[in-house]
Structures are given as structure tokens and as C-alpha cells.
Structure 1
Amino acid sequence: RLSVRSQAPSFSPLRQVESRDPQLRRRLDRSRQTAPLPVSGDTAADRAGSEGAGGAMDAELLELQRQLEAAQSARSSVRLSERNVVELVQKLQERGLIDFELLHTVSGKEYITSDHLKHEIKVEIKKRGRASLVDLSDTLGVDLYHIERQAQKVVTEDPALMLINAEIMSQSYWDTVTEEINEKLQERSQIALAEIAAQLHIGSELVLNILEPRLGTIVQGRLEGGQLYTPAYVSRITAMVRGATRGLTVPTNLPSVWNSLQQQLQEMHGANGVSVEGSFFQSIFVALLKEGAVLGSVRAGVHWTPAVFAHAQKESVDAFFSQNSYIGYEVLQKLVIPQPKQYLEARYPDGIALEAVFVHPSVVDMLDAAVGDAIENGQWIDSLSILPSYISGPDATKILSLCPSFQKAAKVGIFKVIEICVLFINGHTLKKSFFAVFKSSAIWRIMCLQQCVH
């Protein structure tokens, strides 16, 4: 820095004396080589002791010392005004003797070069670790415009610095901050990023960017859902999630489980306890599921079906179907099996999916045997009396259409379908009265005739 305050020229009164008397200058040079000069203010006793130690000093040396003291204490009457200094600097710039940029301070009393301003900014950052450009402007006494220009250069040249929201921050500053965060984290088991951001007066996104590369090194914790947790607390929550999900035996919505765990934590720690977000429970649960620590399946991310329940479902369905050769869709709905028809078709590829029930192929074989026997013996049968009671008219129609004997008779055209009655005929006609009986019947009948009915 170069001050422009009114001041004396930068030359010494002693040099004035020496310049006027060359002989005096030569004597001073010889005296400096023979003995050290005592400082002003020495007493006569001190000078006498010096003479005894270093040898006798002649009167000429004493005179030179007296002249030196007088020159040092003399005050110059020649002074330069502030205007003179400014004009002098301008002249030096015009003549090219000052070929670098000079900046004015805010007070207007000093000049400062750009390089020196950069140096002072670096010194302040090294000392503070973090400083706003406004504070640097006040501290260094330089206009904010020049501070901003040089700050950009300082940050560009040093990758360990960052300029965010008109503040320069160093990596060493963040290392110190994260160490303090880790100490607080170990005391409290949990810290919210929003709380850290509010204390440091920065955004939560910047806090996240600063913490993530230091997790596992400076900060011993886990970041999840905007919260920072200690490893011990994460282990505790993991044990709670594992125990809660393993204890479920029926399909359950996971959010309700997480709410129960949150209430349990609040009861354990009180109102000031650690708050845990549901997303944290969910992430731990997903990790446990991938590890095989909990068994089951998740639908839509929230509907949990334990493996023990799925196994019980399969056993119940298999037992009912094997014993009865059919199973109703309402049975699967009671077992909380979605899309029962698709489930049964996938589990039993040989089965037959009807409107209300799912039947075993043996049901078709049973009806086919009865139909074939009726055709062969010229008899008629009531199909609903042969089929199980759980099969209704529409389902009976489909089963009948699947019978090979029925399909064969359809090809040769020996039957006629009249509303809900199917009659097998051998070239004869039916009396109207007999037809009326079948027409008014509420039961689906199959009649096989080999002679005319009179």
C-alpha cells in the first residue's frame, strides 16, 4: 500500500549531514567498522564502560556520535501535501514508471495494487476460513467492486476455495465444520440437515454436497431423508424394522407399520426424542429384503405379504382343490389373493376357469361319460343332477360344450337346442305336449330319443 497522507520525504536527516560533509562520512564508516554504535540515550557511564571494553575512543568518535544523535532527533521542515503525492503518482503513471494497476481505497488516502489486494484477500481467507465479500470490503477498506473482481481470480486460481452467495469458503473451513457436526451427531444420535443449514446460514443442498464426500471419514453417520443418523442408531432402527416385519403373518400396509414404530420411539424417548421419517424405515426394509433377512413379497411398494402367509395361502388352496376338484373365487378372495381367476390359471394350467368356480378336468370327464352313455342307450339325463351343486346353468353350458361326446354329436347334427333344453333326436319329432314340458322346465335337460314319443 502507498499512503497519500501529508508526510515528509522518505530520506533520513543523517544522510543530509553525510552528504554535506564527505570527510565526516568517511570517518563514520571507519567508526562503524571498529566498534558498534551505542544507541541514543546511553549514559556517560555506559559509554565509559564501552570504552574500557573495546579500547579507548578518541574525542573525534565522541563528536561523531553527538552529531548522529542530533541528526536523528532533528525534524525536517520539508513536507509533501496529499495533492503533491497524488500528482507525483500521476506523473509516474504518465511516464510509464508505474505500469501496473493502482486501486483507490474507500478512504481515498491510500493506493493498493491488484496483486497486493489478492494477497490480502488470501490472508483473510486463510485466517477466517470463510468470509463474505462485504466483510472483506470493510476490513480491507477497498470498494466492493474491486473485491468481487479479485475474489473471482482468487477462487479460480485455488481449487480448494469456493465462492457461494457472495462468500468465499475454504475446504479447511468445511473440514472444521464437519468435525463439529460429527461431535454434535454423536451426542444427539440424529441431526436434521435443515437445522445445520439454518445454523450455517446456507442452503440445505450445499450442506448435502459438503457432507456426502465426508460421510464415513470425518462424519461417522448415515444420511437418509434429510436426516443424519449415527451408525449405532441405524443398527437399532434396523433391528426394530426386522423384528416388526418378521412378526407379521398377514398382508399389511407398510406405512401403518412405520407409524407404529414412530409412536414407539416417541414413547421411549419422549417429545424431545429422535424423529425418524417413514422413508428411513422403508429404505432399511428394502435393504433387509434384498439381503434375505425378511421373506415375502411387496406389491406397489407398500403392500407387504409375508412368506409365511403366502405359504399358508398355497396350502389352503391346494388342499381345498385336491379334495373337492373345484374351488370358488370367493374362497381366494377370503385368502386375500388378488385376481383369483388368473392366480388359479397360472397355478393349475390343466384346470377349467368358469364364471363362478374353477374346476378340475375330471368334472368334464364325469359329465362326458354320462352324456355318452345316454346317447348310446337312447336315454335322457338331467346334467345339473350329475354336476356338483356349486355349478350353475351358465357354467354347466360351458362344461357340456367341452365334453367330447357332445362335440361329436354336434358334428353329425343329432341334437337340437331349444332354449335351455338340449334334446338328442334320431330322425323323429316331438309332440307339442312333450316339447311344452321341456320348454317350461327350469332345469337344463338332455334327452336322447331313438323312437317317436306318442
Structure 2
Amino acid sequence: MEGLSLEALMAELAQVQKAPSVTKLSEPNVVEVMQKLSDLGLLNVLFTTNGKEYLTPKQLRHEVEDEILAHGGRVNVTELPPILNVDLPHIERVIEQLLREDASLQLFQGEVIAEYYLDGVAEEINQTLQSEGRLMLGDLAMRYSLTTDFVTRLVEPRLGTVVDAKLSGSTLYTTGYVARHGARVRGVLSAVLRPAALPQLIREHAFNEALLYALFYEALDEMRAHGRLPGAVQGKSSYTPAVHAHAQAAAVRSFYEQNGLIAYTKLASLPGASRDPKGYV
């Protein structure tokens, strides 16, 4: 029987089964023959959990791939044994092979996840985001039974393509939301005439704190690029408008010109002279 394929052997067994009952093999006999052939290495087959069927590793691979597809690209490995009627170790070996050969598949927390499933999730996230304006990654992680880190890795490479959004910290914002918020920030920067604490501006104007600081610096850069000097942000604590700094400097110059002297302590109150009053003179 050496060299015979599984199909050929099965065909011979089928012929034997059609023979008169004197030579006909019972089901236990067939099972014993198949087991013996497998033990001798003449057949590479897998036994199903009920012992009534056999399949090749190649066929099991096809069936695993079909189940991944049938589950929409995401399936828990432990769900497959009762579906395929094959022991878990056999399925795990097939999945290991698939992961080595197919870069579009990954194993995460016991689930096989296909790239096309992630693309679909990204499209759903984008649709929800466009209607709501912003989404927390933590909320998305709970919605899809994933971790926040996994959702971050899912979203980041798709920003600007599948997901039309800006990611700031752990929150997604639509470009429209960011643009509207940025316009409000520029308006406030232009209107402030004296130093203001940023937490106070956040409260008074109902700014989104997570987005505010990045937008502040973007707004300052944009306004400077257009020849306007709105002021400076000191860390995350305060904002000093340029008009206030210029007024202070003008007052100091006027005082010095009129009196011929000025105290270093007064110079130290100027934004540009606070660190080195003597050098400022």
C-alpha cells in the first residue's frame, strides 16, 4: 500500500464495503485499519473527535480559513473545535502555519483577527466619528472588546485615509471639530489684552482641554506666519498677549526717558527681562 494516496485507499475501502458480507469490513475494522496506516506513517490524516471521519491537514487548513471568513475575519480559537469536530491542538498547529504564511492575520488574546476585519472596524469608527465629532479610544476599546493600545494601533496607520480624523492624546476628533475649535482659540488669543491663566480660559470658553494646548501652539504659529504677534504661552499655565508685553515695555521706556533711571525690580516684571534685567537694559 506504500505510495497510495488517501483518495486511492478510500476508494479501495469503498470497493471492499460493496463486496459480499463475507469479506465486508465492519466500521471498527475500518477505524482500526486507518489507525494502523496512520501509525505506520503511510497516511497523514487527522481523526475527528467522534472518530467517524478523517481529514487531511490541508483540508483542515481550508476549513479553518473558511471559518475565519464566515466569522467576518475575527474568531476565537476555542470556538473552532466543536464547529470543525477536530481537537484543539490540530487547529492550533494550522493557525500557527497560517500566521507564519499570511501577514494579514494576527493572533490577539486568543482570537484570530484578519486585516479586512480591522479595515471594517476602522470604517465603522469613521462613520460614528463623523456624526459625533469626537470619540474616546477607551470607549471604542470597550465597544469592540479590544484593548486601548490595540485600538490605537488600529487607528494610527489609517488616519487621513480610512479614518478622517486627528488623534490627540486618547481622543479622536474630526477635522471639522478641530477647525471649529481652532477658530475659537484664535479668536480668544486675538481678544485677550492682559495675561490670563489657561485653566481660566478653558473654563470661561468651554474649551476641550485635551485639544486646547496643541491648538494654542498651532494658532500662535499660524498667526505669527501671517505677520501677527499674538503673544506667548508659558507651559500649560498662562498666556501673555503681545499687546500687553508691548504696553509694559513702552511704559518702562517712557519712565526711563523721563527719569533717567529705573529699578531692576521693575524691569523684572517685563516678560523679556524677567530672567536677566541687567542684560535687558
Matching of residues 294-313 of structure 1 within 5 Å: 295-313=230-248
Aligned twin of 1:159:
103
Q: More displaced, 146-155 or 105-114?
A: 105-114
SS at match of 2:117: helix
* SS of the residue 1:308 aligns to: helix
- Say if 2:146 is the partner of 1:202: yes
Partner of 1:292: 223
1:185 aligns with one of 120, 123, 129: 129
**What is residue 283 of structure 1 aligned with on the other side?**
214
**Higher RCO (C-alpha 8 Å, min separation 6):** 2
Classify the secondary structure of the residue corresponding to 1:11.
helix
Q: After superposition, where does 1:112-127 map in structure 2 within 5 Å?
A: 112-127=55-70
CA RMSD of aligned residues (A): 2.8
Deviation at 1:76, TM superposition (A): 7.1
Could you tell me which of 245, 257, 262 is aligned with 1:322?
257
**Mapped contact 2:49–2:87 kept (Cα < 8 A):** yes
Structure 1 residue 122, shift from structure 2 partner: 1.3
Bigger radius of gyration among the two: 1
In 1, Cα distance between equivalents of 2:145 and 2:39: 48
Give the equivalent residue in structure 2 for 1:103. 46
Which secondary structure does the structure 2 equivalent of 1:229 belong to? strand
Q: 2:16–2:23: 8 Å Cα contact kept in structure 1? A: no
Separation in 1 of the partners of 2:274 and 2:230? 25
Q: Pairwise mapping of residues 3-402 of structure 1 onto structure 2 (< 5 A)?
A: 10-11=14-15, 80-93=25-38, 96-98=41-43, 100=44, 102-127=45-70, 128-262=72-206, 276=208, 278-293=209-224, 295-329=230-264, 331-332=266-267, 336-337=269-270, 343-348=276-281
Distance 1:343 1:246 in 2: 28
Q: How far 1:12 moved relative to its partner? A: 9.5
Work out whether residues 193 and 244 of structure 2, in 8 Å CA contact, stay in contact via their aligned partners in 1.
yes
Partners of 1:166 and 1:342 lie apart in 2 by 58
Separation in structure 1 between the aligned mates of residue 203 and residue 177 of structure 2, nearest angstrom: 18
Quote the offset at 1:232 in angstroms.
1.0
Once residues 139 and 203 of structure 1 are traced to their aligned partners in structure 2, the CA distance between those partners, rounded to angstroms, is 27
**Residues 252 and 267, structure 2, Cα contact 8 Å, conserved in 1:** yes
Whether the 8 Å CA contact 1:329–1:341 is kept in 2: the answer is no
What is the identity percentage for the equivalent residue pairs of Structure 1 and Structure 2? 37
CA contact (8 A) 2:126 2:162 kept: yes
State the Cα deviation string for residues 369-428 of structure 1 (Å, max 9, x = none). xxxxxxxxxxxxxxxxxxxxxxxxxxxxxxxxxxxxxxxxxxxxxxxxxxxxxxxxxxxx
Q: Deviations over 1:268-315 (max 9, x none)?
A: xxxxxxxx3x13111111112223356222333433211111111110
Decide whether aligned partners of structure 1 residues 316 and 258 sit closer, same or farther in structure 2, where only a CA change above 3 A counts: same
Q: Structure 1 length normalisation: TM-score? A: 0.54
Please, what TM-score do these two structures have when normalized by structure 2?
0.84
In structure 1, give the amino acid aligned to 2:219: L
Q: Which stretches in structure 1 are left out of the alignment for 5+ residues? A: 3-8, 17-74, 266-275, 349-454
